Amino acid sequence: MLVDTHALLWWLSDDAALSPAAREALADPANEPFVSAVSVWEIAIKRSLGKLTAPEDLPDLIVDEGFSWLPITPLHAWQVRALPVHHRDPFDRLLVAQAISEQLPIITADARFNDYGVEVRW
């Protein structure tokens, strides 16, 4: 499963905003949660703008928490062209494209992801 940026941050900070179902899915050792490079990019940009806080060692922390990396490939980037414009956030659109390309459900609280036909777990 692919973990949306906010869900990742809520997991890492043990934030109550993470739904019980999402928390259970992430904690289940039978699942393989992926974090996209686009999420780290989004966090880096927002951190540098002062819009959020994140640990300096975030990439290491993500690995230590048992997440696997999902790199951004040209196929993922190209898949964005076929997406309807339900969402204008470029980070989220790339996450949707990755979920579609890799046939992964996505853990997100963002209801707009449902409009793309991806499996949302929340």
Q: Which residue has the tokens 């994140």?
A: 54
pLDDT band at 86 (very low <50, low <70, confident <90, very high): confident
pLDDT band at 56 (very low <50, low <70, confident <90, very high): very high
Domain 2-121: CATH class, spelled out = alpha beta
Q: State the pLDDT at residue 81.
A: 92
Q: State the pLDDT at residue 6.
A: 95
Rounded Cα distance, 80 and 85, in Å: 10
CB environment 52-78: b (16+ within 10 A), e (fewer): eebeeebeeebeeeebeebeeeeebee
- Maximum separation of any 2 CA atoms in the chain, in Å: 37
Does residue 87 surpass a pLDDT of 80? no
Mean pLDDT of 41-54: 95
